């Protein structure tokens, strides 16, 4: 198990370029299974989860040609479906949460799919009902065998379009059902669909491949099924979670940072939430400039009551950035209530921040009140463990702002979502050693 040794209390300065979007990559890369023709994808992040998925596709028979550091051409013209029954597939797919999104393309093109219970972050219950209820609406038959190692089996000789109301606006659930529906017979209406930029990107890519999807960017997608799809070329968005992480990092470390090529129009309310924490920023074209700030003050509501930041389906605030908002608030002036509605275990890293000296009241598994220090008390370095991707980066930010040396263990979790984060931050003045 690898660790980071962080020497804190250093101010950073310079430019940093966000990686390609992790959550978009997992969907887009699975979509290459929908066609025999070549699909070229650009701006692929070099992170653990994405690399594992690419390798898994290679095991299935997808040919991969690396065109540059961030671009790969995929050709899925000779897929080995027998591999789905192998122990190798079971082990590799089970280690990766994003592997569940292989099912939609498999059903669309091959009319069957197999997947073990997928892994991923330990952030609470993450049910898969939305995926399988959607497949069943399209005419698929689903079975789950606990004795068979927890294997999900889905078969569909005839996928037929239908109307469905998703039980939750799940991003991966919407993507999975959408990819199955593009080659179903007839018209499918998906209501209560997720509409995150990742989904919009997937829809646009599928339409370039020959799909007929309307309602993009809304919560109702209408899909007219087609018999086959062709190849295409696609460039992924910059990772909005990295962008938000860098905004919080700049504020906490009193650093002057320019975040390059952010595609600001796709960030939704993310910049506004950080502005409500008092963080100054300037939009310079598609770059975000964060000046060095001695202090930042959390806004109250107009009636003077305490600000609350909660996650919600898009265009609400993404749950992946609540950990970053929470840690950033620890050095602000003022108080904020963080309300994590979607996952019941994602706030359980705050005990480490409290040990570092932060003033946080964990109200229950979903809510934490942060009373900012206003720079009057500095966090202190400790040894801690990264429980998941986003909490891991929140702890990294805390360590970089703290007095003294911190050790973060289990940084494989951070590597799952952030590309060479130590090297990139060291380039602008951080002192992070990988042990």
Same structural domain, 86 and 135: yes
Q: List beta partners, residue 255.
A: none
CA 120, 138, 179, 242 dihedral sign is negative
pLDDT digits (tens, 9 = 90+) for 27-43: 999 999 999 999 999 99
Q: Mean pLDDT across the stretch 240-248?
A: 97
Residue 124 pLDDT exceeds 80:
no
Confidence of residue 122 (pLDDT cuts 50, 70, 90): very low
Per the structure, the count of domains in the chain is: 2
How confident is the model over 354-393, as pLDDT tens digits? 999 999 999 999 999 999 999 999 999 999 999 888 899 9
Least confident of 123-137, 161-175, 359-373, 399-413: 123-137
199 within 8 A of 218, measured Cβ to Cβ: no
- The pTM for the full model equals 0.93
pLDDT at 120: 43
Q: Which residues pair with 220 in a beta bridge?
A: 191
Distance CA 36, CA 62 (A): 10
> Omega of the bond prior to 181 within 30 degrees of 0, cis?
no
What pairing do the DSSP bridges indicate for beta strands 307-310 and 335-339?
parallel
Residue 410, sorted as left (phi over 0), alpha (psi -120 to 50) or beta, turns out to be: left
Domain limits for position 229: 22-235
* pLDDT at residue 149 in the model: 65
CB of 197 closer than 8 Å to CB of 270: no
Instruction: Answer yes or no: do 167 and 296 share one domain.
Output: no
In this structure, what CATH number is given to the domain that contains residue 401? 3.65.10.10
Q: How far apart are CA 311 and CA 317, in angstroms?
A: 5
Residue 311 has which token pair?
A: 């996650």
- Report whether pLDDT(121) > 60: no
Tell me: the pLDDT tens digits for 13-27? 999 999 999 999 999
3-state secondary structure of 154: strand
For the purposes of burial, counting CB atoms within 10 Å of the CB of 10, is it exposed (0-12), middle (13-18) or buried (19 or more)? middle
pLDDT of residue 148: 65
Residues 226 and 111 in one domain: yes
Strand partners, 234: 41
- DSSP notation for 242-260: HHHHHHHHHHHTT-EEEE-
CA 199 to CA 170: how far, in whole Å? Answer: 10
Mean pLDDT, residues 310-329 taken together: 96
Bridge partners of 434?
4
If asked whether residues 228 and 261 sit together in one domain, one would say no
Q: Summarize the annotated binding site for phosphoenolpyruvate as residue ranges.
A: 22-23
Share of the chain above pLDDT 70, in %: 97
Question: Is residue 213 helix, strand or coil?
Answer: strand
Residue 126, pLDDT > 70, answer: no
Q: Which of 208, 235, 262 is the last residue of a domain?
A: 235
Mean pLDDT of the 270-297 span: 98
- Regarding whether 268 and 198 lie in a shared domain, the answer is no
Q: Which residues are annotated as a binding site?
A: 22-23, 97, 320, 342
For the chain, give the mean pLDDT. 94
- Give yes or no: residues 185 and 70 share one domain: yes
Contact present, 123 and 345 (Cβ < 8 Å): yes
User: Are residues 115 and 244 both part of a single domain?
Assistant: no
Name the packing angle between helices 129-137 and 171-181 (round to 10°): 20
Note whether 335 and 306 are within 8 A (CB): yes
Q: Is position 261 annotated as part of the catalytic site?
A: no
Judge whether 150 and 116 are in contact, CB under 8 Å: yes
Set 49, 78, 121, 286: catalytic member:
121
Q: Tell me: do 204 and 217 sit in the same domain.
A: yes
Query: Which of the listed residues 187, 204, 235 is the one where a domain comes to its end?
Result: 235
- Give the model's confidence band at 348: pLDDT under 50 very low, under 70 low, under 90 confident, else very high: confident
Please provide the distance, in angstroms rounded to a whole number, between the alpha carbons at the two ends of the chain: 9
218-226 mean pLDDT: 98
CB atoms within 10 A of CB 122: 13
Report the alpha-carbon angle 33-188-116, nearest 5: 45
pLDDT for 64 beyond 60 = yes
If asked whether residues 147 and 249 sit together in one domain, one would say no
**Phi then psi dihedrals of residue 143, to 5 deg:** -140, 150
Residue 11 shares a structural domain with residue 27 = no
Q: Which of 155, 200, 199 is nearest to 174 (CA)?
A: 199
User: Does 104 lie in the same domain as 41?
Assistant: yes
> Is the predicted pLDDT of residue 191 greater than 80, yes or no?
yes
Q: Looking at the structure, tell me whether residues 46 and 101 fall in a common domain.
A: yes
Instruction: Please check the confidence at residue 9 and state whether its pLDDT lies above 70.
Output: yes
> Domain boundary at 235, 264, 293, which?
235
Q: CA-to-CA distance for 137 and 180, rounded, in angstroms?
A: 11
| Residue carrying structure tokens 């020959």 | 210
Reply yes or no on whether the pLDDT at 70 is more than 90.
yes
Please give the backbone phi and psi of residue 325, each rounded to the nearest 5 degrees, phi first: -60, -40
393: helix, coil or strand? helix
């Amino acid at each position: 198990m690898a660790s980071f040794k962080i020497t804190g209390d250093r101010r950073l300065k310079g430019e940093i370029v966000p990686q390609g979007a992790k959550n978009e990559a997992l969907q887009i890369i699975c979509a290459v299974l929908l066609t025999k023709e070549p699909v070229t994808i650009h701006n692929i992040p070099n992170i653990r989860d994405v690399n594992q998925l690419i390798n898994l596709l290679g095991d299935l028979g997808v040919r991969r040609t690396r065109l540059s550091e961030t671009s790969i051409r995929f050709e899925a013209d000779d897929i080995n479906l027998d591999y789905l029954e192998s122990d190798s597939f079971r082990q590799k797919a089970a280690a990766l949460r994003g592997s569940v999104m292989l099912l939609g393309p498999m059903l669309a093109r091959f009319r069957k799919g197999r997947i073990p219970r997928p892994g991923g972050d330990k952030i609470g219950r993450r049910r898969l009902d939305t995926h399988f209820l959607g497949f069943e609406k399209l005419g698929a038959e689903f079975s789950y065998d606990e004795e068979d190692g927890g294997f999900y089996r889905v078969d569909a000789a005839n996928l037929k379009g239908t109307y469905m109301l998703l039980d939750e606006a799940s991003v991966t659930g919407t993507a999975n059902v959408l990819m199955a529906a593009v080659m179903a017979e007839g018209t499918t209406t998906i209501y209560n669909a997720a509409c995150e930029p990742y989904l919009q990107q997937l829809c646009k890519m599928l339409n370039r491949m020959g799909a007929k999807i309307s309602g993009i960017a809304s919560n109702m997608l209408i899909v007219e099924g087609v018999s086959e799809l062709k190849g295409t070329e696609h460039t992924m968005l910059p990772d909005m979670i990295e962008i938000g992480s860098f905004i919080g990092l700049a504020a906490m470390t009193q650093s002057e940072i320019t975040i390059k090529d952010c595609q600001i129009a796709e960030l939704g309310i993310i910049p506004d939430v950080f502005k409500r924490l008092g963080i100054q920023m300037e939009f310079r074209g598609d770059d975000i400039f964060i000046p060095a700030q001695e202090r930042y003050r959390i806004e109250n509501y107009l009636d003077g009551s305490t600000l609350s930041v909660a996650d919600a389906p898009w265009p609400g605030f993404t749950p992946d950035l609540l950990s970053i908002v929470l840690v950033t608030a620890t050095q602000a002036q003022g108080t904020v209530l963080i309300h994590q509605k979607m996952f019941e275990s994602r706030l359980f890293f705050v005990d480490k921040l409290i040990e570092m000296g932060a003033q946080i009241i964990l109200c229950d598994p979903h809510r934490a009140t942060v009373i900012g220090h206003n720079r009057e008390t500095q966090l202190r370095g400790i040894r801690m463990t990264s429980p998941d991707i986003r909490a891991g980066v929140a702890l990294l930010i805390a360590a970089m702002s703290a007095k003294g040396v911190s050790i973060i263990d289990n940084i494989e979790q951070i590597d799952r979502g952030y590309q060479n984060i130590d090297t990139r931050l060291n380039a602008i003045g951080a002192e992070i050693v990988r042990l």
